Amino acid sequence: MKQIPGGICAAKGFAAAGLRAGIKPSSPADKNDLGLLVSEVPCAAAGVFTTNLVKASPVLLDQEQLKDGSAQALIVNSSIANACAPEGDAVCRREVELVSGAADVKASDVLVSSTGVIGLRLNVEAIEAALPELVAQLDHSPEASDALARAIMTTDTVKKEIAFEFEVGGKTAHIGGISKGSGMIHPQMGTMLCYLTTDAAVSTELLDMALRDVVGKTFNRISVDGDMSTNDTCIVLANGLAGNGCIAAEGADYEAFRDAMYAVCLYLCRLMAKDGEGATHLMTCTVSGASDEAAAETLAKSVINSSLTKAAIFGADANWGRVLCALGYAGVPFDPEQVRIAFASDKGEVVVCENGRGVDFSEERAKEILLEEEVIIRVDLSEGSGEATCWGCDLTYDYVKINGDYRT
């Protein structure tokens, strides 16, 4: 497996486009706000969505559309979330009709996504007016992936895309993805959209199994602010144009495909955590020595969600007591008397707690370590073989500034 250029267009047969439709007139004039993804042929498809009880209209529509395990096109907009919005469901259905006609795709194979402000009517008239140009711009190039990746950005400060080449069934296959997400990010997915494309041939059942497994170990292990969105979506499309025998059972080919999907999602989820609203540090927490993986995951999530720990990381303050406290209220039994905590980065590692008690360490050395871009919190419970890693970011003054007037 090796990284390649092309993003979501790296897999054979996928074309993308993105442009400014003016969905929200106040948006910057140079900001793409509408994107389209189309496969040359129908695809096996699977998706996972927000577990929030309040779901946006596009989420509800896509859940219905994916029941047959097939899709070929996806339209997505930023600026307006089409969640709890006037005419939300009708607007989604209209988008399906428009894309079906313009891209010559069955209506049942069209998916819809939105991200942005909740509660406002989505300007479907602007989408309809822009669609002919959007279809005309469809292309298989890396630039087309870039245009689509930028169309889904909201408060993101960096574009998020990646692609890999891998071998499966004696054939060279490709998998790529784009995502957006910076705030309202919480385990069980946050305000994130993620689209994955592959030219590997995979059955719908195995595609769904791989997606749920990978999302559980990547996107569901990140948190920026503890707020879960109404629009979270992660969709994968597999068109089979790589020419491998269809992966329909677990085995070496399935493992190779799942590993490639994991590589894409791991890269994207870490980038989302790093790009948290106002963030200055990527915060990684690895818990080892837990009774099992589930316990380790719960504990690591508790640490990355701790506002006090996040604030300490922002200030490069080795306040390990906040980490131990966050472990203690996670709801997972463990023996505090066996806990070891260390802070690490590219500058090295400093142990700050042994057997649940503070140890002497250099505050100057600790600060040097904590000033690095990625800060790692290592927790060892010394009780079992369970291990999990979760990702978050520090809590800064800018987070409040960004969210204080996000709607207005």
Spatial CA neighbour of 32 closest among 185, 142, 134: 134
| Burial track 378-401 (b if 16+ CB lie within 10 A, e otherwise) | bbbbebeebbbbbbbbbbbeebee
- Token pair of 341 as six digits: 């905590």
Q: Is 191 a catalytic residue?
A: yes
DSSP string for 189-237: --S-EEEEEE-S-B-HHHHHHHHHHHHHHTGGGB-SSSPPPS--EEEEE
For residue 334, how many other CB atoms are within 10 A of its CB? 22
Residue among 115, 154, 191, 286 flagged as catalytic: 191
**Residue 333, token pair as written in the block:** 């039994």
Provide the angle, in degrees to the nearest 10, between the axes of the packed helices 88-103 and 57-65. 50
Q: Which residues of 202-220 are buried (b: 16+ CB within 10 A; e: fewer)?
A: bbbebbbbbbeebbebbbb
Burial of 252 (0-12, 13-18, 19+ CB in 10 A): exposed
Three-state SS at 160: strand
Are 33 and 79 contacting, i.e. CB atoms less than 8 angstroms apart?
A: yes
Q: Residues 139, 35: contact at Cβ < 8 Å?
A: no
Yes or no: say if 294 and 192 are a contact pair by the CB < 8 Å rule. Answer: no
Angle at alpha carbon of residue 254, lines to 251 and 258, rounded to 5°: 135
Q: What single letter denotes the amino acid at residue 92? A: C
DSSP state of 389: E
Q: Residue 103: which H helix or E strand, with range?
A: helix 88-103
Q: Rounded distance, CA 365 to CA 342, Å?
A: 12
Total length of the chain: 408
- DSSP designation for 183: S
Give the type of residue at 160.
Answer: K
Residues that are catalytic: 191
